[in-house]
Chain A
Amino acid sequence: MSGHAEAYAPVFVGKRKEEITELLKRYPTKMAGLLPALWMVQEDRGWVSEQAMTEVAEVLELTAAYVKGVVSFYTMYHQHPVGKHFIQVCTTSPCLCNGADKVVNAFLEHTGCKELGITSADGKYTVIEVECLGACGFSTPVQINADTIENVTPDKVPVILAGLK
C-alpha cells in the first residue's frame, strides 16, 4: 500500500477531466456522475482509495463521507489494492450444481492464494467467490478483471492462468 509520504496524484486532470465534464452533460445532476467517476478512478488506479474518494467528492460537489457510503454499497469497487489479476468465480446455485466449488479450489491451488480474498504473496492474484455473473448457461463462468471466461472446469485453470498477461 502507498506510504503516507507519497503525494496523491489527482485522477481528474487532462483527458480524464475532459471526459468527466463531457459525461456530466448527460445527466441533470452532478451526483449522477458518481458511479462513472468511480469507474474512471478504478480503471486508472486499480482501486478506490480514501484520497480518491475525496477527489471525486470535490469534482462532483459531494462530501467524502457520502462518496464512501456509495462506494461501500457496490461490490465491484475495491477499497483496497487487489492482485493484478482479480479472479471472481461464480458459485451461485446454477453454477454450484455444476461443480463451481471445485473451480474455486483449483484457482486457489494454482495461484498460491492461501485463502479467498487474500492476495498471493507475489501480488499477482486475488481469488474470490462471486454471485451470479449472468452467464449461468456457461458454467462455470469466471471473471478475471473485466473479462468473462466461459465454461471453466478445474482442469482448464492452469492454462487460463498461464495465459494471463
Chain B
Amino acid sequence: MGYPHKSHPRETPVLSKHFGDGESRSLDGWKKRGGYKALELALGMTPAQIVDIVKASGLRGRGGAGFPTGVKWSFMKPGDGKPHYLLCNADESEPGTFKDREIMRWTPHALVEGCAIGAYAIGAETAFIYIRGEFQEPIDRMEAALKEAYAANILGKNAMGTGKTINVYVHKGAGAYICGEETALMESLEGKRGNPRIKPPFPAVSGAFGQPTTINNVETLVAVPHILVNGAEWYKAMCLSNAKSTGTKLFSVCGNISKPGNYEIVLGFPFKDFLYDLCGGPTAGRRFKAIIPGGASVPIQTMDEAEATLMDYEGFVAQGTMLGSGGVIVFDDAQSIPRQVARLTRFFAHESCGQCTQCREGTSWTTRILDRIVAGQGTYEDLDTLLEMAENMTGKTICVLSDSCAAPVVSGLQKFRHEFEALITGKRSSTVAGGSQTTAASAKLSVGAGA
C-alpha cells in the first residue's frame, strides 16, 4: 500500500508496504504482518552475529550521511561494563523530508522492533527515540505501540522471555532543527540546550550521558528486521547501480510536482523515471526547473543533472549533489530560485545554534544580502560577497549546518546566476512569478535559535 497515493508498480515497498493500512498499527495487526519474528531471531543470536549480518547487507545510514550501519554498530563493545545507549533519531526536521513521520504513524511497531534489535546488537539495555515536538501524532502512535509491547513482555526486564533487558522510551523534542545533529540530540536528551559537541570524542566512546552510544535514523532501524528475516544476500541483491548502495530507500517528494508523497525504490533507480513516471511529472502547464534531492542541506540540481542521475549515494554525487535524507524538493518554472534560496538560508539562520562565528554571522548576513537582492536592491558585488562568505562557512565549524546553508547559495549562483543577475539589473525574468518575498512575516522573523 502506498500513502497518500497507491504504490506505483515500479516501487519496491518493503518499509512502506503497510503505509495507509490502519490495522498494521496494533500489536495484533503487526504480528499478523510478520512483526516481531525478527526480534525473536535476533535474541537467539549473539550481538556480533547481528552486526555481521547488517554489515554484510550493505545497509547505510538513512539520516543523511550514509555511514555503513553495521560498521557503526561494530564500534560498540558489548560487555565492557558500561551502560550503552541506542538513540533513534526521529527529529526529522530537514526541509523536504517526511518519511520517518509516516513510518511512525503507520508502522510504529516496526520501529519498536528495530530499536529493540539495535539495542541488543550494541549491548544497550536502553533505547531512546527522540521525536521532534511537533510530531504529536507520531509520538502518540509510538507511545501506544510501546505500551502494547511492554504489556506483551516484548520489552522490559525479560524481553520475549529471554531474560534480557530491553527498554525503549520516547523522548519528545521541543522545536529545534539542530537537535537532529547527533551530538546536539544527545545534549538535548540530557536536558541541555541543543548545542552540537566538538568531535572527537565520537558517540561510540562518549555519547549520551558520557557513555558509549549509537545513533541511527528511524528508516535505518526499521530496515534491520527485514534484513534479519530475509538475509543479507536478499538485501544486497536489491541494487540497481553499484554495490555500495544496496536496499530500498524512501524518498519524500514535495514542492511543485503532481503527486507529492513518499516513494520507496531500490537504490540506483533512474531519477528521470522517478520524477515523471512515479511522481507524475510537473503540474498542468508547468515545467520542472530545479531540484534539491536530499533535503534542504544539499546542492541544487539543474534538470539536466537531475535527469541524468541514478538515485544512490554515488549517483547523486556524480551529478553535483548528495542523496542526503532523501527529501526531494522540486521547483517549477513559476518559481524564483533567488527567492527560494533566500528562504532556505533564512531557515538555516533561524536554526543556527550560534556557537560558531562563521555560522552565526554567515547564515544571517547571507540571508540579509539575499533578501536585498530579491527585493531588487542587490549589486553585483553582493554576489561575490555571498560566495566569499559561503567559502568561509564551509568546513570550518563544529557541525555541518553552516556548510548546509552555503550549499544552496553556491549551487544556486553556479547554476542559476542569470536569475540573480536579472534581479540586480532590474530585468526580472518573465517566467518568474511573485518576485518579492514579503509575507508580513519574513521581514519580521528574527534570526537565531530560540527566536
Chain A contact residues, CB within 8 Å of chain B: 26-29, 31-36, 38-39, 60, 62, 69-70, 72-77, 91-94, 96-98, 100-101, 104-105, 108, 115-117, 129-139, 143, 146-148
Residues of A within 8 A of B353 (CB): 73
- Contact A146/B335 with A97-B256, A129-B439 known, Cβ cut-off 8 Å: no
What are 11 sample pairs from A and B whose C-beta atoms fall under 8 A apart?
Answer: A26-B169, A29-B209, A73-B194, A74-B450, A93-B329, A94-B95, A116-B440, A134-B98, A137-B261, A139-B255, A147-B136
B167 and A98 form a contact (CB under 8 A)? no
Given contacts A31-B190, A31-B191, A131-B350, contact A96 B260 (CB under 8 A): no
| List of A residues within 8 angstroms of B450 by Cβ | 72-75
Q: Is B268 an interface residue (CB 8 A)?
A: no
The 4 A-B pairs of least Cβ separation, nearest first, read A34-B191, A76-B175, A75-B175, A74-B174
Q: A26-B169, A131-B351, A146-B136 are in contact. Are A136 and B96 (CB under 8 A)?
A: yes
Question: Which residue of B is nearest A32, CB measured?
Answer: B191
Indicate if the CB atoms of B331 and A97 lie closer than 8 Å: yes
Contact with A along B90-121 (1 / 0, CB 8 A): 00111111101100000000000000000000
Say whether B343 contacts A93, CB under 8 Å. yes
Residue of B nearest to A39 (CB): B172
A96 contacts B340, C-beta separation under 8 Å: yes
Whole-angstrom distance between the alpha carbons of A33 and B189 in the complex?
Answer: 8
Would you give the 0/1 interface string for B314-333, flagging 1 where the beta carbon is closer than 8 Å to chain A?
00000000000001010110
Give per-residue flags for B282-323: 1 if the beta carbon is below 8 A from chain A beta carbons, else 0: 000000000000001000000000000000000000000000
Minimum CB–CB distance from A125 to chain B (whole Å) comes to 15
Tell me whether B260 and A139 are in contact (CB under 8 A): yes
Q: Mark B45-83, 1 if CB is under 8 A from A, else 0.
A: 000000000000000000000000000000000000001
Interfacial chain A residues near B209, Cβ < 8 Å: 27-29, 32
CB distance from B176 to the nearest CB of A (A): 5
Q: Does B274 contact A (CB under 8 A)?
A: no
For A136, list chain B residues within 8 Å (CB): 95-98, 252, 254-255, 260, 327, 329
Q: Is the CB of A77 within 8 A of B174?
A: yes
Chain B residues whose C-beta falls within 8 Å of the C-beta of A135 in the assembled complex: 98, 101
Point out the residues of chain B lying under 8 angstroms from A74, CB to CB.
133, 173-176, 194, 450
Interface size on B, residues (CB 8 A): 66
Contacts of A94 in B (CB 8 A): 95-96, 254-255, 329
Q: Which of B166-203 contact A (CB under 8 A)?
A: 167, 169, 171-177, 188-194
Complex contact B343–A116 (CB within 8 A): no
Residue on A nearest B256 in the bound complex, by CB: A97
Contact A134 B441 (CB under 8 A): no
Is B23 interfacial (CB 8 A cutoff)? no
CB distance from A30 to the nearest CB of B (A): 8
Q: Is B132 within 8 A of A134, CB to CB?
A: yes
Q: How far is the CB of A51 from chain B (nearest CB, A)?
A: 19
Residues of B within 8 A of A29 (CB): 190-191, 209
Inter-subunit contact B192/A93 (CB<8 Å): no
A143/B191 in contact, CB under 8 A: no
**B256 — which chain A residues lie within 8 A by C-beta?**
97-98
Q: Determine whether the beta carbon of B347 is less than 8 Å from that of A134.
A: no
> Across the interface, do B347 and A105 meet the contact criterion of CB distance under 8 Å?
no
Q: In the complex, which residue of chain A has the Cβ closest to the Cβ of B91?
A: A134
Q: Which of B134, B137, B261, B262 contacts A76 (CB 8 A)?
A: B134
* Alpha-carbon distance between A137 and B193 when the two chains are bound, in angstroms: 30
Cβ-defined contact, A70 with B193, below 8 A: yes
Q: Does chain A have a CB within 8 A of B280?
A: no
A79 to B210, CA, bound (A): 31
- Give A101 to B255 CA distance when docked, in angstroms: 14
**Interface-central residue, B339, B441, B451, by most chain A CB under 10 Å:** B441
Contacts of B126 in A (CB 8 A): 26
Contact partners of B429 in chain A: CB under 8 A:
none
Cα-based distance from A70 to B172 in the complex (angstroms): 14
Instruction: Report the minimal beta-carbon distance from A106 to chain B, rounded to whole angstroms.
Output: 11
Provide the residues of chain A in CB contact with B445, threshold 8 Å: 129
Question: A39 and B439: CB pair below 8 A?
Answer: no
Instruction: Give chain B nearest CB distance to A85 CB in angstroms.
Output: 15
Contact among B98, B191, B252, B439 with A35 in the assembled complex (CB-CB below 8 Å): B191
Q: Tell me the minimal C-beta distance from B343 to chain A in angstroms.
A: 5
Q: B6 contacts the other chain (Cβ, under 8 Å)? A: no
Cα A132 to Cα B93 in complex, Å, equals: 6
A135 and B252 CA atoms in complex are apart in Å by 9
Q: Report the separation of the CA atoms of residues A92 and B340 in the bound assembly, to the nearest whole angstrom.
A: 9
Interface: B390 (CB within 8 A): no
In whole angstroms, how far apart are the Cα atoms of A29 and B187 in the complex?
Answer: 12
Interface check B449, CB cutoff 8 A: yes
In the complex, A33 Cα to B192 Cα: how many Å? 10
User: Which residue of B191, B253, B351, B450 has the most chain A CB atoms within 10 A of its CB atom?
Assistant: B191
